[in-house]
């Protein structure tokens, strides 16, 4: 969701950044979590799976499977594309939950992978 200036905002509290509802902000282009309650857990799981995967690992498939877990536990989500100069553009995904209990459930599900 965007406000009148085009800034992305929370679908629950309408804040433009860093609210308690942000479950995960992920840069899909560079495959890295950049914010939200699951940031550290997500990155830890992602890097561990990369280490364990070996040369035949499909990074894209593994990354997308982690995002599926997040999406299944999110109450709202949206995509946003940042258009910068060459090499400076990224596609982002934002995932939100209404409650701290939902965030905790999502964290538990992610740690099971």
Query: Domain for residue 14, yes or no?
Result: no
- Per-residue model confidence (pLDDT) at position 3: 40
The reply to whether 54 falls in a domain is yes
In angstroms, what CA-CA distances link 52 with 10, 26, 47, 62, 100?
35, 22, 9, 11, 31
Q: Is residue 9 part of a domain?
A: no
**Residue 6 falls within a domain, yes or no?**
no
**Range(s) of the domain holding residue 87:** 22-111
**pLDDT of amino acid 6:** 44
User: Tokens 């990224």 label which residue?
Assistant: 90
Q: Which tens digit of pLDDT belongs to each residue from 20-46?
A: 999 999 999 999 999 999 999 999 999
Say if 34 falls within a structural domain. Answer: yes
Q: Is residue 76 part of a domain?
A: yes
Domain tally for the chain? 1
Low-confidence ranges of the chain (pLDDT < 50): 1-6
Q: Does residue 37 sit within a domain? A: yes
Residue 82: predicted pLDDT: 84
Within a domain: 16: no
């Amino acid at each position: 969701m965007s406000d009148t200036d085009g800034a992305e905002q929370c679908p629950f509290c309408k804040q433009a950044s860093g609210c308690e509802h942000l479950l995960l902000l992920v840069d899909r282009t560079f495959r890295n979590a950049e914010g939200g309650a699951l940031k550290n857990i997500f990155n830890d799981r992602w890097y561990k799976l990369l280490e364990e995967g070996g040369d035949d690992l499909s990074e894209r498939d593994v990354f997308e499977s982690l995002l599926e877990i997040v999406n299944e536990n999110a109450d709202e989500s949206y995509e946003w594309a940042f258009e910068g100069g060459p090499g400076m553009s990224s596609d982002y995904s934002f995932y939100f939950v209404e409650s701290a209990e939902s965030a905790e459930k999502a964290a538990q599900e992610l740690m099971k992978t």
